[in-house]
Amino acid sequence: MKIAPMLLAFALCSVPVAAHEGGHDARGIVTSVGSEALSIKTNRGEESFLLTPQTEFVKDGAPATAQDVKALDRVVVHAKKNAGRLEAVKVQFKSPARPKKQ
């Protein structure tokens, strides 16, 4: 008699959950940046990310734009995979360090 509820519970618990969205984060130095793509050099090699109107740019913790990103900037890119390509969700960077006065 107890088998039926157990089977029902098992059936309910074994329903597959939604797949997690694949994420990819990278830290690196900007090698090139345009309106549609950002390339950085990481210790894995060169990585490229698509920039979209939804890509968020954050400089020194404040909102920024793609135009603020320059070659040789250190950036952290939070991306997601979309149709086999990496799409930048958020690009964080800092103002370049000023040379110290002698």
Partner 1 sequence: MAAAVLGILVLGVNVGGLALLLRGGISARVDPTAIEAAVAGKLRRMGIPGSFRQLRSPVPSSNEVRAAGRAHFADHCAICHANDGSGRTEIGRNLYPRAPDLRLPETQQLTDGELFYIIENGVRLTGMPAWGDGSEESKRASWHLVAFIRHLPQLTREEKLQMERLNPKSPEEWREMQDDEKFLKGNERSGQGHEEPRHD
By CB under 8 A, name the binding residues for partner 1.
Answer: 12, 15, 18, 20-29, 40-44, 47, 56, 58, 61-63, 74-77, 80, 89, 92-94, 97
Q: Which residues of 72-82 are buried (b: 16+ CB within 10 A; e: fewer)?
A: ebebebbbeee
Please, which residue, 50 or 76, has the CB nearer to partner 1? 76
Least Å distance, CB 102 to partner 1, is 20
Task: Give Cβ neighbours of residue 55 (< 8 Å, ≥ 6 apart).
Answer: 66, 87, 88, 89, 90, 91
Least Å distance, CB 61 to partner 1, is 6
Please answer whether residues 55 and 65 qualify as being in contact, where contact means their C-beta atoms are separated by less than 8 angstroms. Answer: no
Least Å distance, CB 58 to partner 1, is 6
Least Å distance, CB 51 to partner 1, is 17
User: What do you get for the CA distance between the two ends of the chain, in Å?
Assistant: 86
Please, which residue, 66 or 74, has the CB nearer to partner 1? 74
CA separation, residue 41 to residues 9, 48, 51 (Å)? 50, 9, 17
Please, which residue, 61 or 84, has the CB nearer to partner 1? 61
